[in-house]
Amino acid sequence: MKIRNEKVLEWTFAFLTIIVVWNLKLSYLYESFAIKLGALQGSFLYLIIVDIGLPFSIVFICRIAMLFYERVIWKLNPWSKSRGGWWLYALIPRDSKKLPPVVGYFKLSHGIDSAMIPEGRAFYLESMSSQPLKYRGDWSASRVWIEEQLINWIFTMRAQSPHLEPKPSFYEGFLELRQITDKPIIGKECWSGIFNDLGDRRNIWGPVYAEKLQKGRVNTASDAEKLLKKIAQQFRLRSEKLIS
């Protein structure tokens, strides 16, 4: 229902844009242009410029208006609930191997009718090490399902030289987040949930804590990693509290 309502608003914006452009006497401009080229009314050239060119322009303007709504207006609208942007997270694997906590970051791309995570990176967090973040792997999700206060996806983890894992490491898993009212550590929103690896790793699961960052706080993966190094331990503590 929410997607349908967003589409109605998108089409309404496009329709209003066409009305505005039409009131600028678009048809008169095309007719004047055809006359300046020497085209007589009813001629083939007049047909190409006015009878075909004008409807084509209206369709083109409509498409441009819809793209502008999707990529600018909808994302800036505070009521759109766009979840796009950079996120930081921490999770606690619960299994017999006693793997260390994992922290990481990801970028969520969210449009009106689709969402995906093109890039994400995970690190093992080893508190006693001089360099506590150990590379775990890169992951992505080709499809993300988003509702009002619920986000979930199936991710694909890829790592050529992961720490504490066989080489190479490749598997899928499921992750679900729900928005919570806790005070953020560094971000704009707090989310918590659970993850569960799939396939022969299905016995590995645990709690997840995540925060969506304010727009402009992080612009690149490198920025996200630098910020993660500063607050990784705080995120780990938040995720451990979810166990109790």
Q: What is the pLDDT of residue 1?
A: 42
Q: What is the pLDDT of residue 118?
A: 96
DSSP secondary structure, the chain, as one string: -HHHHHHHHHHHHHHHHHHHHHHTTHHHHHHHHHHHTTPPTTSHHHIIIIIIHHHHHHHHHHHHHHHHIIIIIHHH-TTS----EEEEEEE--BSTT-PPPEEEEEEEEE-SS-EEEEEEEEEEE-TTSSS-EEEEEEEEES-EEE-SSEEEEEEEEEESS-TTS-SSEEEEEEEEEEEE-SPPSSSSEEEEEEEEE-GGGTT-EEEEEEEEPPBTTB-SHHHHHHHHHHHHHHHHHHHHHTT-
Mean pLDDT of 159-172: 73
Is pLDDT larger for residue 58 or for residue 106?
106
Mean pLDDT of 5-20: 65
Mean pLDDT of 216-232: 93
Q: In this structure, which topology does domain 85-241 adopt according to CATH?
A: Lipocalin (2.40.128)
Q: Which of 113-117, 144-148, 162-166, 203-207 has the lowest mean pLDDT?
A: 162-166
> Does residue 233 have a pLDDT over 80?
yes
Mean pLDDT of 191-218: 91
Which residues make up the CATH 2.40.128.120 domain(s) of the chain?
85-241
Express each pLDDT in 91-140 by its tens digit.
999 875 678 899 999 999 987 778 999 999 999 998 777 788 988 889 99
| Whole-number average pLDDT of the chain | 82
